Amino acid sequence: MSYTHRLKKMLAGDRIYWTGVLVVTCLVVVFIVDSQSAASYPSYVLAIVMLVTFSHWRDVFKLSLVRWIAVLLLWFSASTFWSTPYELRDAASIWIRAVLVFGFVVAVGECQLRGEMQQWMSKALTIFGTLMMAAALINFFLTDPADGRLNGLGQLDTHIIAALVFGVVMLFGLKLALDEQSVAWRFVAGVCIMLAIACIALSDSRTAWVAVSLGVATYLVANRLDDVRQLILGLIVLTLVAAVALAVLMANDSTQALILPRGDSFRFSIWSHFLEQIARAPLLGQGINTNDVVEIGDMVFDHPHNLYLAILFQGGVLGLAIYLIMLSSACRYLARCFQLGDAKLALSILVLAGSAFLLDGHELVDKVGEAWFLVWLPIGIAVGLSWGEVNRPEYWRYE
């Protein structure tokens, strides 16, 4: 699409175009604004826009994936009623967050359906992500943090969260490098990839190193394949090889210290505590607003450092089952559209996130933050692809 045509769309008040602008804005502010509440203002606007334009997208509920997303958000919102202690304000906050998440997912789906992701949204995210990674690197060298780890700016104020989000930006950069013929865009993609590698390396997060490597490997392999079954086989082989290599390295004390210089970072102690808590209410969970702070000696940990345990703690076995069904539904649609580049991108982000969440993560239903990059963005892409296939075939298999 020419820039003249795009300008005409802007001036004409193209609804989907401006929805895309809001989606990108919601994600970009994560890199810039420190306060999560302030960063959420664009998502409030997006949610209001989606509610006002409900008649334009109500057919999305015909998708089983969207129904499972709604069930998941309703389940965790309902868990506020058995959270301890029950606070009306905190409960209302969760319900609002669920609305924000749902509005974002449907908005991404609509943009994906119309092809905005390919036309400009992925490029915009790559450019903004590249600029913010450059700023994070400059800040790192100027401030020389005491722990020697690179953090991001805005809400990416911890090394692991920053590295994982930068990993998502790197995947967008890889897609741009492989898809674009323009020398200028390939240059931008190259800068993005190099900055991402530097930032992720300097984060000194082993979790991010492994998760991003898996996500990148998934995308590179998927980009050369047309059959998702070959990708699945390749991932199984890659996982087995990585597991054997890790076992060999962990068997030696010197290499073990190199891989885990901080030991297990109290992970096993934290997980043991949460497993005991989960056993008290295994089916329904303790509720999303129940305090999940853990004290181990003089150390205080704010969450389980494992999203799956967090889901079990908050929503019980039922909550985890709904989450896994939603993920499997999204992956099934992405597999059916595997020949499309965005399906491969979304699958790669989910692989990155799925592996990272084994060792970190704790909030699935939240205001705009890292979960929107790692979970809800690829889920939204899956919604758009399945939406086009099932309800609006005139948009499907776009160029």
DSSP string, 302-369: SS-S-HHHHHHHHHHHHHHHHHHHHHHHHHHHHHHTTTSHHHHHHHHHHHHHHHHTTTS---SS-SSS
292-311, pLDDT tens digit by residue?
777 766 666 677 888 999 99
Asked whether residue 257 is assigned to any structural domain, the reply reads: yes
Low-confidence winner among 11-25, 171-185, 193-207 (lowest mean pLDDT): 11-25
Asked whether residue 2 is assigned to any structural domain, the reply reads: no
Asked whether residue 96 is assigned to any structural domain, the reply reads: yes
Asked whether residue 79 is assigned to any structural domain, the reply reads: yes
Quick one: 275 and 337 in the same domain? yes
How many residues are listed for the chain in this entry? 399
209 vs 4: CA distance, rounded Å: 42
Query: In 3D, which of 245, 218, 242, 243 has the Cα closest to residue 230?
Result: 218
With tokens 């790197």, the residue in question is: 170
156 near 33, Cβ under 8 Å?
A: no
- CB proximity list for 244: less than 8 A, separation 6 or greater: none
Query: In 3D, which of 378, 396, 341 has the Cα closest to residue 225?
Result: 341
Asked whether residue 300 is assigned to any structural domain, the reply reads: yes
Quick one: 106 and 192 in the same domain? yes
H-run or E-run covering 51: helix 41-52
Quick one: 245 and 362 in the same domain? no
Question: Which domain-ending residue is among 239, 265, 291?
Answer: 265
Question: Which domain-ending residue is among 238, 265, 292?
Answer: 265
Find how far residue 372's CA is from the centre of its chain.
5
192 near 169, Cβ under 8 Å?
A: yes
Q: What is the pLDDT of residue 396?
A: 46
Asked whether residue 34 is assigned to any structural domain, the reply reads: yes
Domain count along the chain: 2
18 vs 110: CA distance, rounded Å: 11
pTM of structure = 0.91
Question: Which domain-ending residue is among 214, 241, 265?
Answer: 265
Quick one: 168 and 305 in the same domain? yes
DSSP string, 253-308: HHHHHHH-TTTTTTHHHHHHHHHHHHHHSTTT-S-TTS---EEETTEEESS-S-HH
Six token digits for residue 314: 């908050």
98 vs 203: CA distance, rounded Å: 31
Asked whether residue 370 is assigned to any structural domain, the reply reads: yes
Quick one: 51 and 177 in the same domain? yes
Quick one: 169 and 259 in the same domain? no
194 vs 170: CA distance, rounded Å: 9
Give, in degrees to the nearest 5, the angle at Cα 98 between 171 and 274: 80
Q: What is the pLDDT of residue 260?
A: 56
Quick one: 369 and 239 in the same domain? no
Query: pLDDT at residue 20 above 90?
Result: yes
- Alpha helices (H) along 53-182: 54-57, 64-78, 88-114, 116, 122-143, 159-179
With tokens 């592996």, the residue in question is: 355
Query: pLDDT at residue 256 above 90?
Result: no
205 near 331, Cβ under 8 Å?
A: no
Give, in degrees to the nearest 5, the angle at Cα 171 between 170 and 173: 60
DSSP code at position 362: -
79 near 288, Cβ under 8 Å?
A: yes
Return mean pLDDT, the chain: 87
Q: pLDDT over 70 for what percent of the chain?
A: 87
39-43, 100-104, 146-150, 390-394 — which one is most confidently predicted on average? Answer: 100-104
Per-residue pLDDT averaged across 213-236, rounded?
Answer: 87
Quick one: 275 and 374 in the same domain? yes
Quick one: 386 and 237 in the same domain? no
| Number of other residues whose CB lies within 10 A of the CB of residue 40 | 21
Find how far residue 104's CA is from the centre of its chain.
12
Quick one: 37 and 149 in the same domain? yes
258 vs 154: CA distance, rounded Å: 31
Quick one: 179 and 314 in the same domain? yes
DSSP code at position 154: T
3-state class (DSSP) for residue 334: helix
Asked whether residue 135 is assigned to any structural domain, the reply reads: yes
Structure-model confidence comparison of residues 88 and 267, the more confident one:
88
Q: What is the pLDDT of residue 307?
A: 92
Given pLDDT bands bounded at 50, 70 and 90, which one contains residue 360? confident
Quick one: 261 and 354 in the same domain? no
Domain that holds residue 30: 14-226+266-390
